[in-house]
A and B are shown apart, each in its own frame.
Chain A
Amino acid sequence: MGLVLNEDESLLQDAAEGFFADKAPVKELRKLRDNRDEIGFSQALWKEMAEMGFTGVLVEEEYGGVDMGFMASGIIAEQMGKNLSASPFLSTAILAATAIREGGSDDQKSSWLPKISSGDAIIALALDERAKHNPDNITTTAERSGNGFKLNGSKAMVVDGHVADALIVAAKTGSQEDGTEVTSLFLVDPNTNGISTERTIMLDSRNSARVDFNEVEISGDALIGNIDDGEHILRKVLNAGRAAVSAELLGAGSQAFESTVAYIKERKQFGKIIGEFQALQHRASHLYSEIENARSAVMAALTALDKNDDNSEDICAMTKAKLGSVAKLASQEGVQMHGGVGMTDEYDIGLFMKRIRVLQELFGDASYHMNKVALSNEY
């Protein structure tokens, strides 16, 4: 059925669990935050992730990757969620690797995929532009200019855009006969004239960027895939991204839940351990049920991607909707059940709430995906 891990995946899970708990636990995120780290993550950690094969999890072996598939990528993302480990895994190892693998030219593949595998390049996806995720409403344009293109527009929520060695930019390249606009993807050097980048430190102490493109001249070979054909690559990139974010939400949500259950087994009030109160027991048990369903959804989505299932897009949408809701519930219940200390910076539960809030929003919140699922089912 694919909803149970195979032996390789179980081994990977053990390895990833030990690795992130040891190398990048929550206190490392606190250090990065408190030291106002220049880039917001540890380059040394990223290098070690490369040595573990994590950065090349979706890269073919001929480009130095381990090519273990989406289930494996989700297993890694889940452990990062559990530990709030900061790294460019999502931007580079998931989004960029998928985009280049699916649409890249041989040159693009051989220049970038080995660097992804070795941890020598960070690549960010510049897709969204406004307050909400909306890949169907891109306004950034790429007009033909000489042998290349000229980019104009503004991007927001470009995860890891502040340290990227390359940007994958989604831009409109024209319209079809029926008037619908078409998108193309470009692989762009962020140091090109006309690009300005602002690092935006987010509430989870992680990084994103706003990137503006003003009359940016790029060459024709910057195109990923065929002209006007960016959408089908983008769909695959977004499916992979939504599944990975969901896996990270699963890790963060279940860790928030587990630490909350541990807390209510210790905290005493009215001469009793508060976990004895049925009001809390029932809420915790409900949350347990929801997290089980969330786990099933994540595994179903990753399995669908590995099987290249025709329904992958719907399954990833349902999963992102479900995980957004369940992880949010886990963080809200977590803070409430922690009581006063849940409001303090000292306890980790608040950090989980913050990370979950960001991941909920990334690539579409629950409302976005509910609407998407409804439209796909013709209602």
Chain B
Amino acid sequence: MTNLKAFSLEVRTWLEDNCPDEMRQPITSDKDICWGGREWEFQSKAQKIWMELMAKKGWTVPTWPVEYGGAGLSRAEEMVIKKEMKRIGARSPLDSFGIWMLGPALLKFGTEDQKKEHLPPVARGEIRWCQGYSEPAAGSDLASLATKCEDMGDHFIVNGQKVWTSYADQADWIFCLVRTDNTGKKHHGISFVLFDMKTDGVEPKPIKLISGRSPFCETFFKDVRVEKKNLVGVQDKGWDVAKYLLTHEREMIGGQHEVAGSLTRPLHELAATVLGLDDGKLSDTMLRSKIAETEIDEWAFSMTLTRKLAEAKAGSSLGADSSMLKYYGTELNKRKYELMMDATGHDGLEWESDRSSDGKLARTWLRTKGNSIEGGTSEVQLNIISKHILQLPGA
């Protein structure tokens, strides 16, 4: 414990000295979130400096081993860094599917060569990854995926289509689930491969969403050549990798609201500003009780996140509890945004105005509707809890 205290002091001092003031301001636009990659245009000098300083320290991926660009820290130490960053309102230096998802997969299933080739550029923000999982006919039922991957001896040829590939139009590389064998059960014959999005035959097309934004793409593959060295894990056994990664994805989505919570104003403050107080109480008393209930639920859920992380030993996964976090966190986030829309009333309806930052709240509200669909719907998460935690029959 004393070590952690000393570490916390060290982190605090380093952050004070190195985190640019501009990077301590609340996020106001999508551009404030740094994704890195070959095509990334830094929104400011400070954004670039901040990412590079943190990368140099290994703190974009604190728990990864030093040789792959991390700092070799424990989960507890990583939490100290997060806490200290939160304390000064520091922005995340780098967000990336490479960090959240490819990294954990390669660290567990990758060869030494694969780790050395792919992990350091992720940690430094040089290569931006996207995830090729869902297909038009394989959403929540992911294992039904059909993108064909033929073994040509010294390489593979991939044909098919992915959908809901986040930022595929801006990504440099893709980690992709493909079918190398379709003769057995659906979970067999899936493989996990990596390839450059610039390869001939790869074509991402952005999908316009109800929010008016296009964070997702349909991605088409026509005779795409993939080198054999870019197969992760065992051929036909990619489902093991996929399952492991989905666990990480759920933890990430479930925990997202906590991160967002630190950057957005509490619900009650927003409501008090718009609606005003009446004798010290929010003038809309019906809304007031819903807000109190939701904020208490948010607090209890944040305690669960803390508790589950503390329980999980360093590096180990939460298992099926990640489905509980994903389910509850996303449903809670939707509830919260519904109340924010209630609280802002007519103002929140403005779609194109400076006052509303072009409908920022409304667009985010619409975006939250996807939280309980992506990464396995809430219903799928409840199925997983039923089967693996409650061990109910036939689940």
- Give me the interface of A with B, judged by CB distance under 8 Å: 1, 3-4, 261, 264-265, 272-273, 275-276, 278, 280-282, 284-286, 288-289, 292-297, 299-300, 318-319, 321-322, 325, 366-367, 370-371, 373-375, 377-379
List the B side residues contacting A285 at CB < 8 Å. Answer: 324, 327, 381-383, 385-386, 389-390
B282 touches A374 (CB 8 A): yes
Chain B 366-395 near chain A by CB (<8 Å), digits 1 or 0: 000000000000010111011001111111
A121 to B263, CA, bound (A): 52
Contact yes or no, B299 A318, CB < 8 A:
yes
The 6 closest A-B pairs by CB, nearest first: A296-B303, A276-B394, A285-B385, A281-B386, A370-B292, A3-B307
State how many angstroms separate the Cβ of A313 from the closest Cβ of chain B. 14
- Bound complex: CA of A321 vs CA of B289, how far in Å? 12
Bound: A325/B383 CA distance, A: 24
The reply to whether A293 and B392 contact each other, CB–CB distance below 8 Å, is: no
> Is the Cβ of A281 less than 8 Å from the Cβ of B383?
yes
Q: Which of A3, A288, A299, A373 meets B389, CB within 8 Å?
A: A288
A297 engages B303 (CB within 8 Å): yes
7 A-B pairs within 8 Å (CB atoms) are namely A261-B392, A275-B392, A284-B392, A370-B289, A370-B292, A374-B268, A374-B292
The closest CB in chain B to the CB of A261 belongs to B390
- List chain B residues, Cβ under 8 A from A321: 292-293, 296
A276 vs B293: C-alpha distance in the bound complex, in angstroms?
A: 32
- CB of A10, distance to nearest CB on chain B (Å): 13
A235 CA to B150 CA in the complex, in Å? Answer: 71
CA of A288 to CA of B393, assembled, Å? 16
The answer on a CB contact under 8 Å between A370 and B296 is: yes
Quick check: B293 and A379 within 8 Å, CB to CB?
no
Q: In this assembly, does B199 line the interface, its C-beta being within 8 Å of a C-beta of chain A?
A: no
Q: Given A1-B306, A275-B393, A293-B301, is A379 in contact with B282 using a C-beta cutoff of 8 Å?
A: yes
The residues of B with any CB-CB pair to A shorter than 8 Å are: 266, 268-269, 271-272, 277, 280-282, 288-289, 291-293, 295-297, 299-301, 303-304, 306-307, 310-311, 321, 324, 327-328, 379, 381-383, 385-386, 389-395
| Contact (A299, B303) CB under 8 Å given A322-B297, A379-B271 | yes
Contact, CB under 8 Å: A373 / B296: yes
**Would you give the shortest CB distance from B153 to chain A, in whole angstroms?**
46
Whether B300 and A374, one on each chain, are in contact in the complex, defined by CB atoms closer than 8 angstroms, is no
Q: How far is the CA of A294 from the CA of B297 in the complex (A)?
A: 9
**Which residue of A has the minimal Cβ distance to B282?**
A379
Chain B residue, CB-CB nearest to A303: B303
Q: Is the CB of B291 within 8 A of A300?
A: no
- A275–B383 Cα distance when bound, in Å, is 12
Task: Judge whether A373 and B393 touch: CB under 8 Å.
Answer: no
Q: How many angstroms from the CA of A299 to the CA of B300 in the assembled complex?
A: 10
Point out the residue from B291, B306, B307, B383 that lies within 8 Å of A379, measured CB to CB: B291
Residue of A276, A286, A319 touching B382 (CB-CB under 8 A) = A286
Shortest CB-to-CB span from A273 to chain B, Å, is: 5
Q: Contact: B392 with A264, CB < 8 Å?
A: yes
Further pairs besides A278-B386, A293-B301: 18, Cβ < 8 Å: A1-B306, A1-B307, A3-B303, A265-B392, A285-B385, A288-B385, A288-B389, A289-B327, A293-B303, A293-B328, A295-B307, A296-B306, A370-B296, A374-B268, A377-B266, A377-B268, A377-B295, A379-B272
B8 to chain A, nearest CB (A): 13
Is A322 a contact partner of B300 (Cβ separation < 8 A)? Answer: yes
Using CB atoms, name the residue of chain A closest to B307: A3
The residue in chain B whose Cβ has the minimal distance to the Cβ of A318 is B296
B296 touches which one: A261, A289, A322, A378 (CB < 8 A)?
A: A322
Contact (Cβ within 8 A) B291 A296: no
Complexed CA–CA distance, A35 and B395 (Å): 44
- Least CB distance from A379 to B in Å reads 4
Q: Tell me what chain B mostly uses at the interface: helix, strand, loop, or mixed.
A: helix
Contact indicator B327/A379 (Cβ below 8 Å): no
A273 to B390: give the CA distance in the assembly, Å: 14
Q: Cβ of B310: which chain A residues have Cβ within 8 Å of it?
A: 1, 3-4
Are A293 and B282 in touch, CB under 8 angstroms? no
By a CB distance below 8 angstroms, the chain B residues around A366 are 293
Are A289 and B282 also in contact (CB < 8 A) when A281-B383, A281-B395, A370-B296 are?
A: no
Indicate if the CB atoms of B382 and A296 lie closer than 8 Å.
no
Inter-chain CA distance A322–B300, complex, in Å, is: 8
A residues less than 8 Å from B385 (CB atoms): 285, 288-289
Give every chain A residue within 8 A of B394 (Cβ-Cβ).
Answer: 272-273, 275-276
Q: Which of A4, A289, A325, A371 lies at the interface centre, i.e. has the most chain B CB atoms within 10 A of its CB? A: A289
CB distance from A200 to the nearest CB of B (A): 30
CB contacts (< 8 Å) of B389 on chain A: these are: 285, 288
How far apart sit A322 and B293, CA to CA, in the bound complex (Å)? Answer: 8
Residues of A within 8 A of B297 (CB): 293, 322
**Inter-subunit contact B307/A4 (CB<8 Å):** yes
**Chain B residues, Cβ within 8 Å of A296:** 300-301, 303-304, 306-307
| Shortest CB distance B151–A (Å) | 39
CB distance from A267 to the nearest CB of B (A): 11
How far does the alpha carbon of A286 sit from the alpha carbon of B328 in the complex, in Å? 8
Given A3-B310, A265-B393, A318-B296, check contact A293 B289 (CB 8 Å): no
A3-B310, A275-B392, A370-B293 known; A300+B303 contact, CB < 8 A:
yes
Q: Hey, which chain A residues are within 8 Å of B271, CB to CB? A: 379
Task: Report A-chain residues with C-beta under 8 Å of the C-beta of B303.
Answer: 3, 293, 296-297, 299-300
Shortest distance between the CB of A303 and any CB in chain B (Å): 10
Residue numbers in A under 8 Å from B379 (CB-CB)? 282
Q: Are B300 and A373 in contact (CB under 8 A)?
A: no
Given A261-B392, A289-B324, A378-B272, A371 and B292 touching (CB < 8 A)? yes
A-chain residues with CB within 8 Å of residue B266 when the two chains form the complex: 377
Query: Which one of B281, B301, B382, B386 lies within 8 Å of A374 (CB-CB)?
Result: B281
A300 — which chain B residues lie within 8 A by C-beta? 300, 303
CB-contact partner of A378 in B280, B295, B300, under 8 A: B280
Q: Kindly state the separation between the CA atoms of A286 and B332 in the bound complex, as whole angstroms.
A: 12
- Known contacts A282-B386, A289-B324, A370-B296: does B288 contact A379 (CB below 8 Å)? yes
Q: Which residues of chain A are near B383, meaning CB under 8 Å?
A: 278, 281-282, 285
- Give, as a whole number of angstroms, the nearest-CB distance from A314 to chain B: 9
Q: Which residue of A lies closest to B283 (CB)?
A: A379
Q: How far is the CA of A322 from the CA of B328 in the complex (A)?
A: 15
Residues of A within 8 Å of B311, CB to CB, are 4
B390 in contact with A379 (CB, 8 Å): no
Question: Whole-angstrom distance from the CB of A334 to the nearest CB of chain B?
Answer: 14
The CA-CA distance from A300 to B383 in the complex, in Å, is 29
Report how far A272 CA is from B392 CA in the complex, Å. Answer: 12
A285 to B392, CA, bound (A): 10
B280 & A375 in contact (Cβ 8 Å cutoff): yes
In the complex, A379 Cα to B303 Cα: how many Å? 23
Query: Smallest distance from the beta carbon of B271 to chain A beta carbons, Å?
Result: 7
**B-chain residues with CB within 8 Å of residue A367 when the two chains form the complex:** 289
In the assembled complex, the Cα of A37 lies from the Cα of B300 at a distance in Å of: 39
